[in-house]
Structure 1
Amino acid sequence: MADSDFSVADSLQDILFGSLSGCTGKTIEYPFDTVKVRLQSQPHDQPPKFAGAWDCIRKTFQKEGIVGFYRGISSPIVGAAAENATLFVSYNIAQTAIKKHVLQTKDDLTIPYLVLCGGISGLVASYVLTPIELIKCKMQVESLYSNKTSSITQLCRAVWRTGGLAGFWHGQTGTLLRECGGSAAWFGVYEFVSFELKKLRLKRTPTSKDTNSVPELLISGASAGVGYNLSLFPADTIKSKMQTSSIINPEAHLTFISAAKDLYRHGGISIFYRGLGITLIRAIPSNAVIFFTYEELKKIFA
């Protein structure tokens, strides 16, 4: 995906193209994300509000209408732009660094190295993403457990009052684990599937173009989204529990370990995968669009 010599201009392009592709994908997936977070954040000391994903969709629509599925979207739209820009820039810079300083080559990297680059990009992105996801998750569940719907500014002030600047990185451990493992899988699966699909096509039709077709890009992106979410979904569940606990109980301030123990105590291993089905459903179209948009923009402006 990256050239051997990655310049400042390439970085600026990745920031722009990654931002645009991230915003597009987030708009598609956000209603599904709302359902996922609401399922993940249900308290254990009271009857669950939702029996499952479809029950959550039905009740959310009945109570809040379409708007309920998009509550708090402005924060993750910014987050999606920042996340994808950071991911693509970091991924390509990591490739260039490994080629230049580790392998001393200009050849394309093998899949294991691409997976490593993906993990590095996720590590960097996690620090950008945690504050944005913290506010997003709080907005997605607040109306379920209180009679108010705070603005982004009000929630930011509340976080500042209770935790200061460090409070915005509450849930960082979960985000870091999810992003490192997820991004390694995301880029690794994408690169592997896109390469194999192109190889199969060229084997059947040797005279065809040596670039991925639109269907190949969409299939590769969709596969990457599934790989990302299957890799470390429990870390995302723990993160959501941490970041929404204070909405349900203002006195609560869960750590990564205490949130994990609390979840396991009340639901065993299966509770860590609550909301996985709806997440995989959303991952297919949104990630297909993200990679397609990114690659097509690079072609247009190459």
Structure 2
Amino acid sequence: MSDAAGGRITSFAAAENGLPPKMEDSGTGQGMETIKDVIFGSVAGMIGKMIEYPFDTVKVRLQSQPDYLSPRYTGPVDCFRQSIHAEGLRGLYRGISAPLVGAAIETSSLFFSYRIAQDVFKATLRPPTQGVPLPFSALVACGAASGAFTSLLLTPIELVKCQMQVPLSTSLLRRTGPFKIIASIIRHHGIFGLWHGQLGTLIRETGGSAAWFGSYEGVSALFRKHDTRSAASPSANLESKPPLPIYQQLLAGATAGVSYNFVFYPADTIKSRMQTEGVEPGSNVRRTFWASGKALWRQQGIKGMYRGCGITVVRAAPSSAFIFAIYEGLRNWWGRGP
């Protein structure tokens, strides 16, 4: 994301060129950067969600299997097979409307708040300077702050998504859309009921976003270190250094996706169980994060905490790779102009 005057250099593109984001000189510049964060982040997030959504549906179904029954699915492949047999391929995309909105909000919010967090760090840790990169630890902290902010926007969307993803045979919501689900939640639990599972989302997004941005920045820095094009002209202006090749951007993005999903996966599992517990007919269960976690640990141990993790990591790699590549591509295209 860009903090440079003129709006061309993003935090990642700047990192590829050896530059940190620069402080904006005007409110107009900041406003334009916000618009670009929202538009480009939304496009990248929605495309990434289309790629990963069937795998996410399988993950939620594996995570939300009841404690008191034998597992309905033996694994991801069996879940895919049963789901397609019962509902067809369309069933794996059931409830995608809310996640598409959520992906647009999440990704644009992550990029926007990551840029703002870097501005704050530069303003508080030292006087703003041109061409001096933030330390890696500060970038990781900015990623964590970005995730914490985004979690507040994401929890209601994920609550609706999870309730629409549970199997048809166990849900009264099979003939309802997201708006009816929202109305039902508010009617039974009030407006704050939409934030059921917030602690799980906060833990996942704070730690996961730190790993997401940190991994991307770290892998990109490693590629730049061995970039013969940059080494061949060490005296060149940093802004004129060539960006990383697309395959290296994809690899860095894929690494980020794997890191994001694996490190704090148990928090996501507990959150998904919390957000699907009240879906059964006549059920009004609303357990806390810690109560849900303890119940899962007693019943299934560490294996239950990581149920569905494999398929999540598999779908996260290409999705995250395309998110970063599309976002950076749009940024570079905008910067070149007509």
Note whether the superposition's TM-score is higher than 0.5: yes
Cα distance, 1:142 vs. partner?
4.9
Q: 1:154 aligns with which of 158, 180, 204?
A: 180
Greater Cα offset, 43-52 or 161-170:
43-52
Question: 1:75 maps to which residue?
Answer: 98
**Which structure would you say has the larger Rg?**
2
Question: 1:139 maps to which residue?
Answer: 164
**Does the CA contact (< 8 Å) of 2:42 and 2:108 recur in 1?**
yes
Question: 2:141 maps to which residue?
Answer: 116
**Does the CA contact (< 8 Å) of 2:249 and 2:324 recur in 1?**
yes
Matching of residue 89 in structure 1 with residue 107 in structure 2: no
Question: 1:253 maps to which residue?
Answer: 286
Question: 1:188 maps to which residue?
Answer: 214
Q: Provide the rounded CA distance (Å) in 1 between the counterparts of 2:136 and 2:87.
A: 45
Q: Provide the rounded CA distance (Å) in 2 between the counterparts of 1:35 and 1:104.
A: 49
Q: Provide the rounded CA distance (Å) in 2 between the counterparts of 1:206 and 1:225.
A: 32
Q: What does the per-residue CA deviation read over 1:185-224, in whole Å, with 9 as the maximum and x for residues that have no partner?
A: 0000000101111221227973695311101110000000
Question: 2:51 maps to which residue?
Answer: 28
Q: Provide the rounded CA distance (Å) in 1 between the counterparts of 2:263 and 2:31.
A: 32
Q: What does the per-residue CA deviation read over 1:73-97, in whole Å, with 9 as the maximum and x for residues that have no partner?
A: 0000000000011100000010011
Matched residue type, 2:228: L
Q: 2:318 aligns with which of 267, 285, 292?
A: 285
Cα distance, 1:66 vs. partner?
0.5
Q: What does the per-residue CA deviation read over 1:76-131, in whole Å, with 9 as the maximum and x for residues that have no partner?
A: 00000000111000000100111122222431112110000000000000000000
Question: 2:305 maps to which residue?
Answer: 272
Question: 2:232 maps to which residue?
Answer: 206
Q: What does the per-residue CA deviation read over 1:38-81, in whole Å, with 9 as the maximum and x for residues that have no partner?
A: 00000011222101110000000101101111010000000000
Q: Provide the rounded CA distance (Å) in 2 between the counterparts of 1:239 and 1:143.
A: 20
Question: 2:199 maps to which residue?
Answer: 173
Matched residue type, 2:311: I
Partner secondary structure for residue 88 of structure 2: helix
Matched residue type, 1:160: I
Matching of residue 4 in structure 1 with residue 22 in structure 2: yes
**Does the CA contact (< 8 Å) of 2:59 and 2:312 recur in 1?**
yes
Cα distance, 1:150 vs. partner?
1.9
Q: Percent identity?
A: 46
Q: Provide the rounded CA distance (Å) in 2 between the counterparts of 1:69 and 1:76.
A: 13
Partner secondary structure for residue 301 of structure 1: helix
Partner secondary structure for residue 70 of structure 2: coil
RMSD value, Cα: 1.6
Cα distance, 1:241 vs. partner?
0.5
Matching of residue 236 in structure 1 with residue 268 in structure 2: yes
Q: Provide the rounded CA distance (Å) in 2 between the counterparts of 1:204 and 1:52.
A: 46
Partner secondary structure for residue 210 of structure 1: coil
Q: 1:62 aligns with which of 69, 73, 85?
A: 85
Greater Cα offset, 2-11 or 151-160:
2-11
Matched residue type, 1:264: W
**Does the CA contact (< 8 Å) of 1:202 and 1:210 recur in 2?**
no
Q: Provide the rounded CA distance (Å) in 2 between the counterparts of 1:126 and 1:28.
A: 22
**Does the CA contact (< 8 Å) of 1:43 and 1:248 recur in 2?**
no
**Does the CA contact (< 8 Å) of 2:38 and 2:108 recur in 1?**
yes
Question: 1:44 maps to which residue?
Answer: 67
Matched residue type, 1:127: L
Q: Provide the rounded CA distance (Å) in 2 between the counterparts of 1:66 and 1:30.
A: 11
Give the structure-1-normalised TM-score.
0.96
Q: Provide the rounded CA distance (Å) in 1 between the counterparts of 2:206 and 2:171.
A: 34
Greater Cα offset, 278-287 or 145-154:
145-154
Structure 1 gap segments, 5+ residues each = none
Q: Provide the rounded CA distance (Å) in 1 between the counterparts of 2:175 and 2:291.
A: 28
Q: 1:227 aligns with which of 237, 259, 263?
A: 259
Q: Provide the rounded CA distance (Å) in 2 between the counterparts of 1:101 and 1:9.
A: 23
Structure 2 gap segments, 5+ residues each = 1-9, 12-20, 25-29, 234-239
Q: 1:15 aligns with which of 28, 35, 38?
A: 38
Matched residue type, 1:134: L
**Does the CA contact (< 8 Å) of 2:23 and 2:128 recur in 1?**
no
Cα distance, 1:143 vs. partner?
1.1
